[in-house]
Structure 1
C-alpha cells in the first residue's frame, strides 16, 4: 500500500500531546513544528487517524511542496504536482483555504485562484480535457505558505475533527472537543481517579474524560470526506477501522459505570445555570456516556468533593465574553478556596486573564496555549503535601 506524508494541524502549545497520540496509534512522527505534527502512513493510517485521534484538528494528505516568490512560480509549482495520482477525472476540487506567513505572496484569494487554474491545467494535460464538470467526490485543497515555501495538501477530514457529533447545543465561550481532550491528556488523569469541572458549560471536559475512560474513539459516530475517495482509500478499510474502534469500547463500563476492579468511575460537572446542566446531560447522552457523569447545578463558591487524589480541570470566565472583569477577583478567589478544601487534588485551568495567579496563587507550572487565535495559559497546581 502506498505511503503518504500526513500532516495534523493541532493547537499551538500542545504538539507534544498529538505526537504522543500518533506514537500510541503505532506510527512514527517525522516533523513537529508550531501547530502541526507530521507522520508517514498509508490509506489505513488516514482512516485510523481520522477515527482515533482526539487532539488533531484535521488529517491532511500532503501532495507536495515547492518554493514560490512570484505568481508564475506558484502556478508552475502547483502545475508540476502529480494531481492525477490523487484526483479522478470527475473529482470536485478547489483550494478551500490558503494561509501565508512571512511570504512574498500574501493575497489568499489570488493564491486560491491561481492554484485552481494550475490544477485544471495539469488535469487537462493528463485527461486531455479542457473542461471538468466536477460532479464526483470532493477533494478540498489546503495550501500553507511559510517563508515562500508552499505546502499543498488534500483535506481528508472535511469538517474539523473537533466536531464529534454529540455537542449540538453549547454554553457561552465553549472550549472545543479537541482542545478539551488534549488538556485532559496533558494533566495525566486516569479513569480510576475522580475528575471534576466546576464550571462545565456544555459539558465538554467531563464528556471527553468519559469517552477516554470508556475508550470511545472520537470519530466513531461521524463521517469523513475521504470516505468517498475510493481511488485512494478502499471502502473496506473504513469498515475495518470502525470495527476495530467498536471492539475497543468498554461496553461494561458504559452499562453500569463500574470498571474492571469494581470501582465506580467518578466524573462530575457543575454549573450555576440549571438550563446548561440540561444541555450537558443531552450532550452526554448523545455521546453515549451519560451513565459515567454526574452533572449538577452548583455555584463555584460551593465547590467540594469527597474523593481523594482527583483532577480538577476547568475553563473559567476571564472577562472577555462572559462577565465584567471587576467580578473576576472574587470568582478566582472562590475557586482557589474550593481547591484548597479538596483532598490531595491537582487543579488545571485554562484562561486568558493575566491576573489569574494574583488570586489563585503562583502556579506550579504554566503553559502558553493558543485557543484559536486567542493566547491563553494553562495554570497547573499540584496537590499540597
Structure 2
C-alpha cells in the first residue's frame, strides 16, 4: 500500500468543528485544524481508514487526491485525461462525479462533471453510474480544479447497528460530540430519562466499551485501488472491554424502550445498558456515582401544544433537581425559553442545524 500523504477533510455539523478537532487529536490524527464545516488533517490511507472506523463525530471523510488549473472545458478535458486515475480507482468499480464551480471561467457544473466522467471512462475504463456508491467530487474555484474522493460512502452517523428509530431521532455523530462537550470520557454513568431509540445511552456505552463506531459497516474506501483487505481486517479487529452496568434509558413509550433494547443488543452493549418503560415522574437516582443526564426532550413541531411543552420541561427540571443531585445535565432543545422553564442553571452551546431546526446543547454544573 502506498505511503502517499493527502489532505484529508473530516466534515461535521457547522458549530461543532472545534469539538471534532479535539476528538481527532485524541485519536492521534496529525495536526487537526478546525475550519468551516469540518476539520483538516494530513495523512495516508491508514489515517483515512482510522478516521472512518474510529471518529464518532465526523459525518464523512473526504480525501483530496489532486489538483490542477483549468481555464476552459478543453483544458479540463486534457488535464483530466493525464491524471493517474488508476492510482486511486479500479476499472471494475462504478463511480459518479459531482462538480461545483465558483468564481471560475468554467461555470457549467454539468459540463465539467461530464468532461471528468469521460476522462475516467476512456482512460481507466471504469463505468460511470449516477447511482454508484463511489463518489468523486470536483471543485473548480478561481480556476483551480480540486479532486476529492468520498472515502465513507454512507454518512458516518449510520453505524450499522441502530435499525430501530423513533420520531426526530438524534444522529449518533451529534450525540457523540455532545457527550464530548460534556467532558464524557467513558468512565461516568449516563442516564437519559426520555431515551427514544437510545442514542445517548448506547453511544456512551460503546465509548466505555472501547468499541469502534464503524466496526459493523462497510466503507467506500474498500473499493479504492489502494485498499488492502488484510491490513484493514487487522485494524478493525481491535479489543474491547465490558464496562459496568451504568448506562440507563427510560421512556414512557414501550415501543421506544423495545427499540432501544434491540439497538443495544445489535451494538453489543446490552450487558452494560438498561432500558425501562416508565413516565418521567417515576425517575429515581440509580445506585451509581453521579454522572451525566443527557436528554433530548420533544420540542418544535414534535409537539403541537406549547402549554404541554412548558409543563413537560418544568416537570423535567423538578424531577432532576429532586432525584439527581450531584449529576450534571446536558439538555438538547431548539427553544431557549423551554430550557429556562426547567429552572436549572444551564449554559447554552452553539446553534446547530437539526431536522430543519436549530438546536443547542444546554449544560449544567453538578445539581
Report the TM-score when normalising by structure 2.
0.86
Cα distance in 2, alignment partners of residues 272 and 370 from structure 1: 27
Go from structure 1 to structure 2 and tell me whether the alpha carbon gap of 1:275 and 1:66 turns closer, same or farther (over 3 Å shift): same
Alpha-carbon displacement from aligned partner over 1:317-343 (angstroms, at most 9, x marks no partner): 113234433311111111111221211
Q: Which residue of 2 aligns with 1:262?
A: none
CA contact (8 A) 2:90 2:223 kept: no
Cα distance in 2, alignment partners of residues 382 and 71 from structure 1: 58
Q: Which residue of 1 aligns with 2:228?
A: 234
Within 5 Å, give how 1:37-116 maps onto structure 2.
Answer: 37-65=39-67, 82-95=84-97, 97=98, 103-104=102-103, 111-116=109-114
- Quick check: 1:375 aligned with 2:358? yes
Secondary structure of the 2:235 match is helix
Q: Which residue of 1 aligns with 2:214?
A: 219
Given candidates 321, 346, 353, the residue that maps to 1:340 is 321
Go from structure 1 to structure 2 and tell me whether the alpha carbon gap of 1:377 and 1:281 turns closer, same or farther (over 3 Å shift): same
Cα distance in 2, alignment partners of residues 147 and 299 from structure 1: 58
Q: Which structure 1 segments of 5+ residues have no match?
A: 259-264
- Quick check: 1:141 aligned with 2:136? yes
- Quick check: 1:359 aligned with 2:341? yes
Cα distance in 1, alignment partners of residues 361 and 74 from structure 2: 44
Q: Which residue of 2 aligns with 1:315?
A: 296
The worse-fitting range, judged by mean Cα deviation, of 292-301 and 30-39 is: 30-39
Go from structure 1 to structure 2 and tell me whether the alpha carbon gap of 1:364 and 1:133 turns closer, same or farther (over 3 Å shift): closer
Go from structure 1 to structure 2 and tell me whether the alpha carbon gap of 1:65 and 1:329 turns closer, same or farther (over 3 Å shift): farther
CA contact (8 A) 1:138 1:225 kept: yes
Deviation of 1:233 after TM superposition, in Å, equals: 2.1
Secondary structure of the 1:367 match is coil
Within 5 Å, give how 1:121-270 maps onto structure 2.
Answer: 121=119, 124=122, 126=123, 133=127, 139-143=134-138, 151-229=146-224, 231-243=225-237, 245=238, 247=239, 249-250=240-241, 253=242, 257-258=243-244, 265-270=245-250
Cα distance in 1, alignment partners of residues 219 and 198 from structure 2: 24
- Quick check: 1:286 aligned with 2:280? no
Go from structure 1 to structure 2 and tell me whether the alpha carbon gap of 1:234 and 1:304 turns closer, same or farther (over 3 Å shift): same
Secondary structure of the 1:114 match is helix
Secondary structure of the 1:92 match is coil
Alpha-carbon displacement from aligned partner over 1:243-292 (angstroms, at most 9, x marks no partner): 2x2x2x11xx2xxx53xxxxxx3110011101110111011000010111
Q: Which residue of 1 aligns with 2:115?
A: 117
CA contact (8 A) 1:3 1:41 kept: yes
Cα distance in 1, alignment partners of residues 316 and 258 from structure 2: 23
Q: Which structure 2 segments of 5+ residues have no match?
A: none
Deviation of 1:220 after TM superposition, in Å, equals: 0.9
Cα distance in 2, alignment partners of residues 77 and 327 from structure 1: 62
Alpha-carbon displacement from aligned partner over 1:6-39 (angstroms, at most 9, x marks no partner): 1111122211222122222222235321221121
Given candidates 233, 245, 256, the residue that maps to 1:276 is 256
Go from structure 1 to structure 2 and tell me whether the alpha carbon gap of 1:57 and 1:372 turns closer, same or farther (over 3 Å shift): farther
Q: Which residue of 2 aligns with 1:4?
A: 6
CA contact (8 A) 2:63 2:150 kept: yes
Cα distance in 2, alignment partners of residues 356 and 149 from structure 1: 47
The worse-fitting range, judged by mean Cα deviation, of 203-212 and 353-362 is: 353-362
CA contact (8 A) 2:121 2:128 kept: no
The worse-fitting range, judged by mean Cα deviation, of 215-224 and 192-201 is: 192-201
Go from structure 1 to structure 2 and tell me whether the alpha carbon gap of 1:325 and 1:77 turns closer, same or farther (over 3 Å shift): farther
CA contact (8 A) 2:121 2:127 kept: no
CA contact (8 A) 1:61 1:153 kept: yes
Go from structure 1 to structure 2 and tell me whether the alpha carbon gap of 1:132 and 1:40 turns closer, same or farther (over 3 Å shift): closer
Q: Which residue of 2 aligns with 1:261?
A: none
Go from structure 1 to structure 2 and tell me whether the alpha carbon gap of 1:224 and 1:343 turns closer, same or farther (over 3 Å shift): same
Go from structure 1 to structure 2 and tell me whether the alpha carbon gap of 1:49 and 1:151 turns closer, same or farther (over 3 Å shift): same
Go from structure 1 to structure 2 and tell me whether the alpha carbon gap of 1:301 and 1:76 turns closer, same or farther (over 3 Å shift): farther
The worse-fitting range, judged by mean Cα deviation, of 300-309 and 47-56 is: 300-309
Report the TM-score when normalising by structure 1.
0.83
Count of residue correspondences = 359
Go from structure 1 to structure 2 and tell me whether the alpha carbon gap of 1:366 and 1:48 turns closer, same or farther (over 3 Å shift): closer
